[in-house]
Structure 1
Amino acid sequence: MESNKKTLKISFSTQKGGVGKSTMTTLLASVLHYRLGFNVMVLDCDFPQHSLTGMRERDKKTIMENDYHKRAAMKQFHAINKKAYPIFKCRAESALEKASEYISESVVKPDIVFFDLPGTANTKGVLTTLKSMDFIFSPITADRLVVESALSFTKAFLGLPNHGGGSTEQEMWLFWNQVDGREKTGLYDTYQNVIKELNLSVMATKIMDSKRFRKETDGTESYVFRSSLLPADMQLLKSTKMDLFVSEFLRIIHL
Structure 2
Amino acid sequence: MEKETLFIAFSTQKGGVGKTAFTVLMSSYLHYVKGLEIAVVDCDYPQHSIAEMRQRDMEQVMKDNYYKQLAYRQFSTIKRKAYPVEKSMPEDAIDVAENLIDGATIQPDIIFFDLPGTLNSRGVVKTLGGMDYIFSPVSADRVVMESTLKFATMLNENLISVGKSDIKGLYLIWNMVDGREKNELYDVYENVIGELGLNILKTFVPDTKRFRRELTSGHKPVFRSTLFPAHNSLLKGSNLIALADEILKTIKQ
TM tier relative to shorter chain:
over 0.9
Separation (CA, whole Å) in 1 of partners of 2:190 and 2:99: 40
Is the 8 Å Cα contact of residues 42 and 86 (structure 1) preserved in structure 2? yes
Q: CA deviation at 1:161?
A: 4.4
Supply the distance in 2 between the matched residues of 1:171 and 1:192 (Cα, whole angstroms).
Answer: 17
Cα RMSD, aligned residues only: 1.8
- Which residue identity is paired with 1:166? S
- Cα distance change on mapping 1:77 and 1:127 into 2, 3 Å: same
User: In 2, Cα distance between the equivalents of 1:214 and 1:68?
Assistant: 20
Aligned counterpart, 1:153: 151
Structure 1 residue identity aligned to 2:165: G
Cα distance, 1:73 vs structure 2: 1.1
**Equivalent residues in 2 for 1:31-180 (5 A)?**
31-161=29-159, 166-167=165-166, 170-180=168-178
Deviations 1:56-76, CA, capped at 9 Å, x for gaps: 011012223334422321111
Compared CA separation, residues 179 and 161, structure 1 to 2 (3 A): closer
1:87-129 deviation per Cα after TM superposition (whole angstroms, max 9, x unaligned): 0011010010111112122221000000100011011110000
Q: Is the 8 A contact 2:39 2:83 kept in 1?
A: yes
SS at 2:230's partner residue?
coil
Structure 1 gap ranges (5+): none
Structure 1 residues 31 and 145, CA gap change in structure 2 (3 angstroms): same
Report the TM-score when normalising by structure 2.
0.94
CA distance in 2, matches of 1:231, 1:28: 9
Pairwise mapping of residues 7-26 of structure 1 onto structure 2 (< 5 A)? 7-26=5-24
On the 8 A contact 1:69/1:222 being kept in 2, the answer is no
Q: TM-score normalised to the size of structure 1?
A: 0.93
Please state whether the residue corresponding to 2:247 is helix, strand or coil.
Answer: helix
Question: Aligned to 1:82, what secondary structure does the other structure show?
Answer: coil
Instruction: Tell me how far apart the structure 2 counterparts of residues 239 and 120 of structure 1 sit (CA, whole Å).
Output: 31
Q: Which residue of 1 aligns with 2:226?
A: 228
Aligned residues: 252
Which residue identity lines up with residue 135 of structure 1 in the other structure? Y
Cα distance in 2 between the residues matched to 1:184 and 1:39: 34
Partner Cα distance (2:19, 2:29) in 1: 16
TM-aligned CA deviation for residue 164 of structure 1: 8.5
1:216 aligns with 2:228: no
Q: Distance in 1 between matches of 2:178 and 2:76?
A: 38
Q: Does 1:244 align with 2:242?
A: yes
State the Cα distance separating 1:237 from its structure 2 match. 2.3
Code of the residue aligned with 2:136 in structure 1: it is: S
Q: How many Å separate the matches in 1 of 2:156 and 2:83?
A: 31
Q: Distance in 2 between matches of 1:172 and 1:102?
A: 24
Q: CA deviation at 1:197?
A: 1.3
User: How far did 1:153 drift?
Assistant: 1.5
1:9-50 CA-to-partner distances (Å, cap 9, x unmatched) read 000001100001001000000011111110011001001111
Residue type of the alignment partner of 1:58:
R
Secondary structure of the structure 2 residue equivalent to 1:204: strand
2: distance between equivalents of 1:16 and 1:203? 19
